[in-house]
């Protein structure tokens, strides 16, 4: 059975095409890696890349991209709307097929060590690869951003997992981790009242007492003059897409509002959607081994 890992590195350049292409080329160059998508954002001055492949090649591509980013990007002159702390800001490994989270954690640790040792960049392990619970949360690690790191890295609690305990002026610091695939799922409502979307989001999300693996916020869709509950499902095997959908509909009822549509943003594992088909069709005794494409990938 094939082993396939997904990697979604974010680097701090979203404007200079030649720089972006040179960094992305490091993934293109490796034969066992398939580049699925890359999305430069000029406002954020940041590019999100998605690629997949066998573990060894994915690891090498992630390291080579980090090396190229550290060569071409100078963080001391970087500006952009998105929080960031390094030239290669964050590198998550995501188990996709025939591979466990534990193996992805090992990939993260090996890559982090190489970045620390060979490139002299302080590296923090995050999410499933985190060495202490606080560092599971990327936002916690990145607090204060590039500029704030020069001071905070002096403290014992900010000793990096790999690399020097001092800031790399040109390349900043990098977070490397392992996580399950995210599903970005939004539900559109037939109202323009943003307060309703916000209220529903608060009831649906984990921190509001809602579904365990759901993050949610209310968003206005200006062009359509409607609002949306915008969600991140951080573990679709734990909380299903249909659960999030049905819970939004349930909360919407008290405001006399309906779900008129939904969106899935970016890539989604087939299992997350097939799970919904099984629920709504009430399928008994189904296994993913009945899915032709699952068998083709074995």
Is the separation of the CB atoms in 95 and 188 below 8 Å? no
Is the separation of the CB atoms in 44 and 80 below 8 Å? yes
Active-site pick, 44, 78, 79, 82: 82
- Position 221 contacts a copy of itself (CB under 8 A): no
Comparing CB distances to a copy of itself, the nearer of 222 and 298 is 298
At its nearest, how many Å lie between a copy of itself and the CB of residue 242?
Answer: 7
- Position 188 contacts a copy of itself (CB under 8 A): yes
Decide: residue 284, CB within 10 A, 0-12 exposed, 13-18 middle, 19+ buried.
exposed
Comparing CB distances to a copy of itself, the nearer of 13 and 275 is 275
Show contacts with a copy of itself in window 19-78 (CB under 8 A): 34, 36, 52
Helix (H) or strand (E) holding 61: helix 55-72
- Check residue 224 and report its DSSP letter: G
- Check residue 74 and report its DSSP letter: -
**Contacting residue, 4, 32, 150, 236, with a copy of itself by CB under 8 A:** 4
- Position 241 contacts a copy of itself (CB under 8 A): yes
* Inter-residue long-range contacts of 258-263, CB under 8 Å, 24+ positions, other chains counted: 258/189, 258/190, 259/187, 259/188, 259/189, 260/188, 260/189, 260/190, 260/226, 261/187, 261/188, 262/185, 262/186, 262/187, 262/188, 263/185, 263/186, 263/188, 263/228
At its nearest, how many Å lie between a copy of itself and the CB of residue 259?
Answer: 7
- Position 96 contacts a copy of itself (CB under 8 A): yes
Respond yes or no: is residue 82 known to be catalytic.
yes
Per-residue CA distances from 86 to 99, 142, 213 (Å) = 29, 9, 28
**Contacting residue, 191, 245, 247, 252, with a copy of itself by CB under 8 A:** 245
How many residues bind to a copy of itself according to rule CB under 8 A? Answer: 45
- Position 250 contacts a copy of itself (CB under 8 A): no
Pick the closest to residue 111 from 93, 97, 96, 98 (CA basis).
Answer: 93
**Contacting residue, 28, 106, 220, 294, with a copy of itself by CB under 8 A:** 294
- Position 120 contacts a copy of itself (CB under 8 A): no
Binding site residues, a copy of itself, CB under 8 A: 4, 6, 34, 36, 52, 96-97, 181, 188, 241-242, 245, 259-264, 266-270, 273-278, 280-286, 290-298
Residues with catalytic function:
82
């Amino acid at each position: 059975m094939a082993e396939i890992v997904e990697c979604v590195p974010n680097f701090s350049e979203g404007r200079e095409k030649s720089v972006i292409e040179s960094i992305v080329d490091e993934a293109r160059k490796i034969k066992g890696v398939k580049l699925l998508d890359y999305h430069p954002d000029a406002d954020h001055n940041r590019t999100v890349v998605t690629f997949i492949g066998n573990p060894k090649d994915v690891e090498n591509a992630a390291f080579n991209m980090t090396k190229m980013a550290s060569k071409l990007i100078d963080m001391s002159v970087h500006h952009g709307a998105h929080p960031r702390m390094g030239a290669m800001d964050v590198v998550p490994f995501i188990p996709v097929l025939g591979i466990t989270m534990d193996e992805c954690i090992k990939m993260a640790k090996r890559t982090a060590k190489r970045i620390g040792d060979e490139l002299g960049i302080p590296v923090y392990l995050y999410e499933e690869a985190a060495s202490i619970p606080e560092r599971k949360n990327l936002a916690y690690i990145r607090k204060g951003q590039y500029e704030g790191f020069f001071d905070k890295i002096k403290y014992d609690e900010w000793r990096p997992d790999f690399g020097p305990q001092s800031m790399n002026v040109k390349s900043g610091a990098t977070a490397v981790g392992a996580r399950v695939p995210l599903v970005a799922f939004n539900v559109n409502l037939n109202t323009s009242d943003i307060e309703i979307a916000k209220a529903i989001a608060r009831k649906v999300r984990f921190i509001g007492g809602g579904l365990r693996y759901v993050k949610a916020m209310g968003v206005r869709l200006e062009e359509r003059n409607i609002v949306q509950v915008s969600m991140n499902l951080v573990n679709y095997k734990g909380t299903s897409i249909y659960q999030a959908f049905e819970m939004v509909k349930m909360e919407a009822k008290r405001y006399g509002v309906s779900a008129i549509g939904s969106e899935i943003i970016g890539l989604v594992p087939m299992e997350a959607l097939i799970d919904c088909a099984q629920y709504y069709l009430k399928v008994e005794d189904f296994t993913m081994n009945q899915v032709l494409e699952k068998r083709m990938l074995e």
